[in-house]
Amino acid sequence: MKLPYRAGDSFALPLGDGTSAPAEILACDHHTVDIAVAGLELRGVSDRALVLRRWRRSGRPSVGRTSCAPDLHPHRAGKPWIGPAHAERIAATHLGVANLELAPLHVRNRWKPEFSTDARYVRVAQRGGTLDPRELAGRFPQVEAFDCSGVALTSLDFPASLRALRLARIDSPVDLRELARLPLDTLHLEHLREVRGIDALVQWDSLEQLEMLGFWQLELDDVWPLLDLRNLVRADIDIGGRRKNVELYRRANWAYPWPFELCGETISEARRVEPPARSG
């Protein structure tokens, strides 16, 4: 298979805040590439983002490189390669856009009386269980990020305080038109048994990060309108088959999503730090 890139190509590397940085391919080796961005050299990066055209070529001139930055993650020195999402976050951290050292999500594996009611990040995972989202507001009035997997939901009446929501392997139908009333920054949907109201995503202007994994039932026409969402800067949409995904990412300029467990901390920081002005 002829690869859609070669050493010396330059491309735009999304940083996750709606902006991109010029980058250059230094070398290629068995599905990995070495890249240079903003004076930083990253070795052994998976070429998946280039093959899917998530990182779009911008020509062949060199972007220049002043120095090689030190290894930001020495504990990964033994790894043969890193993923494109990790490479984006390293570059974003280097440029002051993102912080890879954010604390992880505080996980609550099913609430109990001894758990603090001031928890802001809650996770419920119980295969075959049933959950009424209205319980969240009473038990955790300050909840901002909720991760739910493997259960059946009796309703979609989640607290209005939520800013990040993950629904994975939910056994009951999920109607996105009911969720669209929430002022979410982040929405992660994964392998839902039945989902309705995909068109509601188009009107969801508060979304900055969207993940839709395992949505093979969708066609390109179902997701084209998402390209016009002004605030959507990080997205991963898998609608099945390389052809469909390539056609989508050739027209998008989204960065890879930041890990869901980091998003909650980002939301907390946003209360104390004024977000950067958006370009365009």
Q: Where are the domains of the chain?
A: 10-94, 121-270
The arithmetic mean of pLDDT across residues 140-169, rounded, is: 91
Predicted TM-score (pTM) of the model is 0.80
What is the DSSP secondary-structure string of 162-214? -SEEEEES-SS-EEHHHHTTS--SEEEEES-SSEE-GGGGGG-TT-SEEEEES
Q: What angle do CA 19, 25, 27 make, to 5 degrees?
A: 155
| Confidence at residue 261, expressed as pLDDT on a 0 to 100 scale | 64
Q: What gap in Å lies between CA 213 and CA 190, rounded to an integer?
A: 5
Q: What is the mean pLDDT of the chain?
A: 80
| Confidence at residue 100, expressed as pLDDT on a 0 to 100 scale | 67
The pLDDT of residue 48 is above 50: yes
The pLDDT of residue 279 is above 50: no
Q: Which one-letter DSSP state was computed for residue 19?
A: -
Q: Which residue has the tokens 């950067």?
A: 276
265 three-class SS: helix
121-270 carries CATH number 3.80.10.10: yes
| Confidence at residue 102, expressed as pLDDT on a 0 to 100 scale | 47
Kindly report, residue by residue over 184-221, the tens digit of the pLDDT: 999 999 989 889 999 899 889 899 999 999 888 888 88
The pLDDT of residue 17 is above 50: yes
Of 1-15, 66-80, 135-149, the one with minimum mean pLDDT is 66-80
The arithmetic mean of pLDDT across residues 252-269, rounded, is: 69
Of residues 115 and 161, more confidence is placed in: 161
The arithmetic mean of pLDDT across residues 109-119, rounded, is: 53
Confidence of residue 280 (pLDDT cuts 50, 70, 90): very low
Kindly report, residue by residue over 235-251, the tens digit of the pLDDT: 999 887 777 888 888 88
Kindly report, residue by residue over 4-16, the tens digit of the pLDDT: 899 999 999 999 9
